[in-house]
Structure 1
Amino acid sequence: MSTPPPSSRVDVTHPAWDPGREIVLDPGSPEPLYHQVSQQLHAAIEDGRLPAGARLGNEVDLAASLRLSRPTVRQAIQTLVNQGLLVRRRGVGTQVVRTKVARPLRLSSLFDDLTGLGGKPESVVLANSVEPADAEVAELLEAPGLTHVRRLKRIRSTDGEPLALMNNYLPDGVIDPTDEELRDKGLYQLLRSAGIRLHAAEQNIGARLATEEDAELLHEKPGAALLTMQRTTYDDTGRVVEYGWHVYRASRYAFNLSLTNGPQ
């Protein structure tokens, strides 16, 4: 395809990538045109030609650049929005977000995993307090005589994008973190620094739809798909040191599992 005139090029903040030059369409292909566009945009995001934060122009400009109809371009963009690769922001336009975080299932905190993946984890502390422990909380922490519990509630983000809403109960006295420590370090890092040797965990993974509160905190729409995780963590003495229930943006997050063949 010939390069369109400069006046019809799309405003992309990463000037090395010009969709009018780099997206090549084949009208004779059995693949719909919107799919061809979305696949090539996807490839540009994956290989870094369109990095996180790069901004596409509006649908009219992109359609003119590619000589396509606006509905075709809209469908291509919506495909990538649904995959969590693009986001529409009011007053900003369509913007590239980071690719989905794929987290292995192991005894580590989200903070540790994001750091290991080269991300820049950030936390907003919504709750950090000691409260009376009712019977339900004592049961979750497997401590029938427990009288007080530390409750934590945090939003974990990476590179400025909210990723997870994390709630935790810890038996009072296990650690006494400040808000600053919770912003700068992961929970497991704080536990290990206190001399606690983490040994094992039981974990359940599920899914649900975002509530109004979830949507506001995680920058999603009410009803958006969320992944859920409940985890009970034990130290090397068999004591429960934390119970967590977290929700993750399904558009930005995945769990990886390794499966082995069992006995035949």
Structure 2
Amino acid sequence: MATTGAGPVSPLASLDLTLDRASPIPLYHQLAQQLEAAIERGALPPGNLLGNEVDLSHRLGLSRPTVRQAIQSLVDKGLLVRRRGVGTQVVHRQVKRPLELSSLYDDLESAGQQPTTRVLRNAPVPASAEVAAALGVPEHTEVTLLERLRLTHGLPVAFLTNYLPTDVLTPQTPRLETTGLYRAMRAAGVTLHSAHQTVGARSATPGEAALLDEHPGAALLTMRRTAYDVTGRPVEYGTHIYRASRYAFDFQLLVRS
């Protein structure tokens, strides 16, 4: 954020924000749309502070409740975050991930989203009936369970649960905190070939909401995937949940003639 001798200058000062008071579109929505567009085109990059709501209200000739409502709508979308003692801060554009066999870590890194990982669990467990069926092993066979929280710019995006046959990979927690699972598998000599994936949606439970910094009942995207190596053997089964406010799956559809 730029500074002058008088102190910090809000990045909003450089934006051309114009409101049509004769429009049937509410003023808060017009302001929110223009701020969202500025975030999308990079005029308000991640980390920038919006400054004081009072100053913005005076500059635009709007009431504080109107400005507060506009900002809250972008907080709800995951584009802004209110930090106690810091102020309202730009987070990032929504992550849009292509539906293909790739690592979330790699996709986020390629998009400049600064991914980090917290490994919450890395332990052997007996395979449930669901996990055993997905991995093609007898029920109660020992498999490796990984539970990880994936963050971008320090804020949670996804909670990832993965099961691996124990002879496929012995994942080390420090490595998983600095790279993606598929990258670790490739480094161990596993050649991934294909996957079966199902995408869905549901509401967050109280526990999931607390983990993902959402409110209970918030919209979550879900993904269930079984990945196979070049021999056709199942080498990974994952069930993931993503914050819908900060994450989307991107489809490319082809017309069949």
Q: How well do the aligned residues superpose, as a CA RMSD in angstroms?
A: 2.0
Q: Give the match for residue 182 of structure 1.
A: 176
- 1:258 aligned onto 2:256: no
User: What TM-score, normalized by structure 1, do the two folds share?
Assistant: 0.87
Q: Which runs of 5+ in 1 are unaligned?
A: 1-10
* Residue 41 (structure 1) shift: 1.2
What is the number of residues matched between the two proteins? 251
- 1:198 aligned onto 2:192: yes
- Alignment match of 1:219 (pick from 213, 237, 240): 213
| SS of 2:216 mapped into structure 1 | coil
Q: Give the match for residue 85 of structure 1.
A: 79
The letter of the residue matching 1:205 is V
Give me the whole-angstrom Cα distance separating, in 2, the residues matched to 1:223 and 1:134.
Answer: 27
Larger mean Cα displacement after TM superposition, 239-248 or 191-200: 191-200
Q: Give the match for residue 8 of structure 1.
A: none
* Residue 59 (structure 1) shift: 3.4
Give me the whole-angstrom Cα distance separating, in 1, the residues matched to 2:237 and 2:247.
Answer: 21
- 1:156 aligned onto 2:144: no
Larger mean Cα displacement after TM superposition, 85-94 or 244-253: 85-94
Give me the whole-angstrom Cα distance separating, in 2, the residues matched to 1:108 and 1:47.
Answer: 26
Q: Which runs of 5+ in 2 are unaligned?
A: 1-6
Q: Give the match for residue 7 of structure 1.
A: none
- Alignment match of 1:43 (pick from 32, 37, 46): 37
Is the Cα–Cα contact under 8 Å of residues 91 and 153 in structure 2 kept in the other structure? no
- Alignment match of 1:125 (pick from 103, 119, 125): 119
- 1:25 aligned onto 2:25: no
* Residue 48 (structure 1) shift: 2.2
Where in structure 2 are the equivalents of 1:54-93 lying within 5 Å? Answer: 54-93=48-87
* Residue 151 (structure 1) shift: 0.2
The letter of the residue matching 1:210 is A
The letter of the residue matching 1:241 is V
Q: Give the match for residue 248 of structure 1.
A: 242
Larger mean Cα displacement after TM superposition, 25-34 or 186-195: 25-34
Give me the whole-angstrom Cα distance separating, in 1, the residues matched to 2:130 and 2:81.
Answer: 40
Is the Cα–Cα contact under 8 Å of residues 127 and 139 in structure 2 kept in the other structure? no
| SS of 2:122 mapped into structure 1 | strand
Is the Cα–Cα contact under 8 Å of residues 11 and 49 in structure 2 kept in the other structure? no
Deviation by residue 1:210-261 (Cα, 9 ceiling, x = unmatched):
1222122211111111110000001111110000000011111000111112
Where in structure 2 are the equivalents of 1:95-174 lying within 5 Å? Answer: 95-144=89-138, 147-174=141-168
The letter of the residue matching 1:133 is A
- 1:232 aligned onto 2:250: no
Give me the whole-angstrom Cα distance separating, in 2, the residues matched to 1:132 and 1:170.
Answer: 11
* Residue 91 (structure 1) shift: 3.5
The letter of the residue matching 2:226 is T
Give me the whole-angstrom Cα distance separating, in 1, the residues matched to 2:74 and 2:52.
Answer: 15
Distance 1:207 1:118, change over 3 A: same
Q: Give the match for residue 34 of structure 1.
A: 28
The letter of the residue matching 1:106 is E
* Residue 22 (structure 1) shift: 2.9
Task: Give identity over the alignment, percent.
Answer: 57
Distance 1:73 1:15, change over 3 A: closer
Distance 1:23 1:138, change over 3 A: same
Give me the whole-angstrom Cα distance separating, in 1, the residues matched to 2:229 and 2:170.
Answer: 17
Give me the whole-angstrom Cα distance separating, in 2, the residues matched to 1:57 and 1:120.
Answer: 24
Give me the whole-angstrom Cα distance separating, in 1, the residues matched to 2:107 and 2:73.
Answer: 28
* Residue 14 (structure 1) shift: 6.2
Give me the whole-angstrom Cα distance separating, in 2, the residues matched to 1:257 and 1:14.
Answer: 40
Deviation by residue 1:68-92 (Cα, 9 ceiling, x = unmatched):
1122212222222232212233333
Give me the whole-angstrom Cα distance separating, in 1, the residues matched to 2:55 and 2:221.
Answer: 36
